[in-house]
Each structure stands twice: as structure tokens, then as C-alpha cells.
Amino acid sequence: MKEILKKAQQNKYAIGSFNFSTTEILKAIVLAAKELSAPIIVSTSEGEAAFIGIAEAAALVGAWRHGTKLPIILNLDHGKSLESVRKAIGAGYNAVHFDGTNLDYEENIAQTKTVVDYVRDIEEKYDQQIIVEGELGYLRGSSSVHQEALEIKPEDLTSPEQAKDFVERTGVDSLAIVIGNAHGVFSKSEEKLDLERLAQIKDALSDKVFLVLHGGSGIPEEDIKKSIELGIVKINVNTELRMAYQEGLAKELKEKPQETTPYKILQPSFEAVKKVVVEKIKLFGSENKI
């Protein structure tokens, strides 16, 4: 599992991490990856996992792995507690993101370290690999369409010195950073990445850790490409999939109000999500990387 990210780091492309909360979204993500022979990460937040079921999400991903032979990493996204991490690993997740950014710096380190220690224990006990991601900086927004403009303050951004200290003291495999990215799509402003800050963070950490960009929706393509060039190896995308799903569904319900067959009603949403995933995989450069 870690090899997938290592290869991306060495060859300067990024693995897409796509969120799902229904079976047809998962199917759209997996079939897009299959079409392009791309390794992928599929993720559920705590809310998404609660909706689809954590054991059910793991079982579905297992079935897709078996059916497609694709390397698919199943990731807990923005886990807020050790309990949440425990449940995900217990269900069979291969990666966990612990988000301690609502804590102060020292407490974030302490709780992330507890999560890392727990994960390393499990890895040793069961001879399996689990990727642990920590997060540093203040990431604004939520995975939805925001009507207000995005305002990012300099103090929101990840500090290169703290990033180095955080990685050394916690031992995380991956680090989610804030460099002008935010969750969601902002209709009144553009998300602009601070690429200089990214270069400084990369300088401080070299290849010791996998750098992660959350809030992958709504960032200009040029910035995404440059961020990969500068060391980002995992990019999380959710809102653009949600928008595609919602638009596909709204259009279908409007055009065919008499349709009652779920798999027919959901077909346009499935196709719209798949199209977005195909575009993102191509943009991230992870096509034909199996």
C-alpha cells in the first residue's frame, strides 16, 4: 500500500483520493480508475461511513478489488478520534487520516502520535501495512458549494518549521498541508495555491513524508500540476463529485418525473461522477501507473 504512494512520489504524479457514500459513487470511481489503469484511494469521512456503513464500505471495496484486480486503498478521511481510527482499521481500512487541527499544536502532536503508535502496533501484530496521515494548518470550508468568497489568512497556512517538527515527533507517513487550499467550491473566488510555501515545506521534509492536498475541488488545473511537480502525492476530491452527482440527479428527475426505477434514475449521476474522476486521474498523472 505504501509502495503506491512511494512510486507516485518518485515519479512525480499524484494518487486521487475520492470520497464516496453510496454504492453507485464507489462504482463510478472504481470503473473510472479501471478504464485508465490507475491506482486509487477511496475515502469515507465519518459522516459518509455512518451513512453507507463502515463494514459495508470495506466489504464493497473488497469486492471491487477482487473483481477488478486494481490496487484500491480504502481510507478513513478526517477521522477525529482514536476511536474512529480503531473502528476503521477493525473494519479493514488500509489508511487512516487523523485530523487533529481543531486542537492546539502540542495536543495535535500528542493525539496524532497516539494514533500512529496504535497503527504501528496493529501493523506489527497482523503483518499488514496501514498508512497514517496527520494534518497541520487551518483548512477552511466544507465539501459543498459556498456562496461567499474564500478568505485565507497567512496564519492558516502550514509552517515549514512546524511541519518538520510535527513529522519527526509523530512519525506519520503522510501529512496534509494548507497552502491556499480549502474544502469545497467557492462561487465568488478562486482557490490559489501558495506554491512558494509548498516548496519550503518540501524543502524542510524532503521525501520523508507523503504530502497531501485536501480540498482538491475548485483549484485551477495549472496550480494542481505545479503542486504535483513540487511534491504533492495525494489529492483529495469530494465536492466536484457531489456536484456532478446532484446535477445528474436533478436533471434526470426533471426530465423524467415518472421514472421510478432507481438504477435508471441514478445512471446519469453515475456517469457524471465517473467523468469527473476520469478528468482528475488524467490531471493528476496517475493514468497507466499500475
Q: Using CB under 6 A as the criterion, which residues of the chain lie in contact with ligand G3H when the complex forms?
A: 19, 77-78, 143, 183-184, 214-217, 236-240
Given the complex with Zn ion, which of 31 and 73 has the nearer CB atom?
73
Question: With CB cut-offs between 5 and 8 Å by kind, which of Zn ion, ligand G3H, none does residue 170 bind?
Answer: none
DSSP 8-state secondary structure symbol assigned to residue 150: P
Question: With CB cut-offs between 5 and 8 Å by kind, which of Zn ion, ligand G3H, none does residue 238 bind?
Answer: ligand G3H
The DSSP secondary structure of 194-212, one letter per residue, reads -HHHHHHHHHHHTTSSEEE
Which stretch in 15-23, 119-127, 167-175, 208-216 sits in contact with Zn ion by CB under 5 A? 208-216
Which H or E run contains 48? helix 46-52
CA-nearest of 38, 44, 37 to 23 is: 44
Provide the minimum distance between the beta carbon of 184 and ligand G3H in the complex, in angstroms, as a whole number: 5
Which is catalytic among the residues 77, 99, 173, 223?
A: 77
CA distance 236 to 175: 12
Helix, coil or strand: residue 20: coil
Provide the minimum distance between the beta carbon of 201 and Zn ion in the complex, in angstroms, as a whole number: 17
Strand spans (E) along 112-195: 131-136, 141-146, 174-177, 183-186
Q: Which of 214, 242, 274, 280 binds Zn ion (CB under 5 A)?
A: 214
User: Is 223 annotated in the active site?
Assistant: no
CB-CB neighbours of 170 under 10 Å: 24
Provide the minimum distance between the beta carbon of 4 and ligand G3H in the complex, in angstroms, as a whole number: 18
List interacting residues with Zn ion (CB under 5 A). 214, 236
